[in-house]
Structure 1
Amino acid sequence: MILFLMTQRAAVNGIEIVYDSFGSPQARPLLLIMGLGAQLIHWDEEFCELLAEQGHHVVRFDNRDAGESTHLHEAGVPEFGSPASPYLLADMARDAAGLIDALGWPAAHVVGASLGGMIAQQLALDHPGRVRTLTSIMSTPGPQVSPPTPEASATLMSAPPADRVAAIALAQKTWAVIGSPGYDLDTERIARLAGLAYDRAHDPAGTARQLAAILASGDRTERLARLAVPTLVLHGEEDVLIPVAGGRATATAIPRSRLVTFPGMGHDLPKPLWSRIVEEITKHTAG
């Protein structure tokens, strides 16, 4: 039997967003936004608990077209490379702003990873009053700033798995390519999360729609130069999916931002770095 944490639902921006939370409601509000095709469970419970222990009320959620939030099945599968997209990152940022409202938070400290970092950037640009601080992890101001290596790109374009077993095998293969070469690959955790994600919502078309939103939304560099939200940028120095140039470009674009890079870290959050990452985020939100 598979058990999940108790989730809650909020009607925002014409769709339903599913979320859960950690820590005291009286603590600093912290919103976690996950990446392409990923679900709230990909913010590890233990990682969320570490953040909660450092004085945060942590909320993680499923983006549209992921997990148990609304999937836009009627939009179909966009043609790869087409400039057309059923929605943009601005719409996904509006989802996040709506969730902040639904939670009763005037504003939140916002942390986004990968696509989540792009959404967090867009949220800070379009709804600056809702963002106390911004933390952009392994992300970029635009898809052309730091393109993936050919091998990483090939994993991103892999054919959708036919069943649960194939989904787990594909996850193992993918993280072997884009994960952190400086740390042991946690194959057991990867398999567990891939199985849970498949059981919650297997929707390759939804991932394709999210990718189309990235490509159709363009580059944020010029607008980020006018951003006044306190910003922390975290990036792995061995990232092959969004190379560290993306993090450096983000930090260069946003005035007075702070960049921290991690040797040996790829496009994931290796457990041995959790305490350091939580420390950096906590120092940022407390400041």
Structure 2
Amino acid sequence: MTITTTNGIDLAYDSFGQADAQPILLIAGLGTQRIRWTEPFCQELAARGYRVIRFDNRDTGGSTHFRHCPPLDFGALAASLMAGKRPDVPYTLHDMAADAIGLLDGLAIDRAHVVGRSMGGMIAQIMASEYPDRVLSLTSIMSSTGNPALPQAAPDAMAMMMRPAPDPFADEAGFLSHSLAFARRIAGTGQPFDDAAHRRLVLEEVARAYDPGGTGRQVGAMAVTGDRRARLATVTAPTLVIHGAEDPLFPPACGQDTAAAIPNAELMVIDGMGHDLPPALYRQVAEAIDRTARRAATG
């Protein structure tokens, strides 16, 4: 793990592949760390001739945490949004996009292929629309546009996501049961769910940095960002939108809306995929990202 400082915060990152290869920047989702982009997936991309960079968003992993900020009041957040007011939050997705640009600056990278999943897809979309000269291609995975007319998440999946987890240091078994139940709920049926692999992953995240308050602050960042479709219409980078046909958090209509909002975007809906990226799909997804990156080279 290496640390770079940008926008007054530290960002933890690592990379795979040759340092002089064309860069791919991977952006993680809500409350998760860079290790959700697993080493086998990163190696799958690096083997195609890229320098693959993954990093911890602010408030996760080895990057700066905003623990000095008060816990997010979800009731007050919802009330402000319903009243048409902008809630007071520590930061927005635009700040997180600026972090990613700052990371590229720190690595002396002028332009990169940008890939984001879930909330990371939203950050990647903002990068492509607000920093077009820095983004060679955009891949948005299991994400959305902020369009308020889109279908909402399955109520039971949303309830599971928002329910506080047991403290892993006081009740590891309860924490793992909570985490595994949610992961199974959002996974697709196309591949078997690997309990052991998920257990190892979440325990590694806990060991690196456990901060449920950071997840709440990222929820606030998402909530105030709003509808991005007008800005997405200005994106010029070759774009791929990947979405699971069984995604319960962002239904397939969210992926369709993303592709419709971005000129000439390619939509790839994967049967049996939920709101996850299982190893059985690594090669298919890596090939699609590579194909999109090559569109940038030929375009």
Fold shared per TM-score above 0.5:
yes
Q: Deviations over 1:18-67 (max 9, x none)?
A: 00000001211000000000001110100000100011100000000011
- Deviation, 1:167, is 2.8
Q: 2:36 — aligned with what?
A: 42
SS at match of 2:269: strand
CA distance in 2 between counterparts of 1:227 and 1:278 reads 22
Q: Structure 1-normalised TM-score?
A: 0.96
Q: Deviations over 1:44-95 (max 9, x none)?
A: 1000001000111000000000111000111121111512211110000000
CA distance in 1 between counterparts of 2:267 and 2:239 reads 9
Indicate if the aligned counterparts of 1:167 and 1:194 stay in contact, CA closer than 8 A: no
- Deviation, 1:162, is 1.4
CA distance in 2 between counterparts of 1:121 and 1:231 reads 10
- Deviation, 1:282, is 0.6
* Greater Cα offset, 201-210 or 173-182: 173-182
Q: Deviations over 1:127-168 (max 9, x none)?
A: 111111000000001163342110111111111321241332
Indicate if the aligned counterparts of 2:23 and 2:112 stay in contact, CA closer than 8 A: yes
User: 5 Å matches for 1:1-287?
Assistant: 7-81=1-75, 82=77, 83-142=87-146, 144=148, 145-164=150-169, 165=172, 166-287=174-295
Runs of 5+ unmatched residues, structure 2: 78-86
Indicate if the aligned counterparts of 1:36 and 1:116 stay in contact, CA closer than 8 A: yes
Give the length in aligned residue pairs.
Answer: 281
Q: Structure 2-normalised TM-score?
A: 0.92
CA distance in 1 between counterparts of 2:195 and 2:167 reads 20
Indicate if the aligned counterparts of 2:56 and 2:62 stay in contact, CA closer than 8 A: yes
- Deviation, 1:226, is 1.7
* Greater Cα offset, 219-228 or 141-150: 141-150
Which consecutive segments of 4 or more residues in structure 1 shift more than 4 A? none
Aligned residues with identical type, % of pairs:
45
Runs of 5+ unmatched residues, structure 1: 1-6
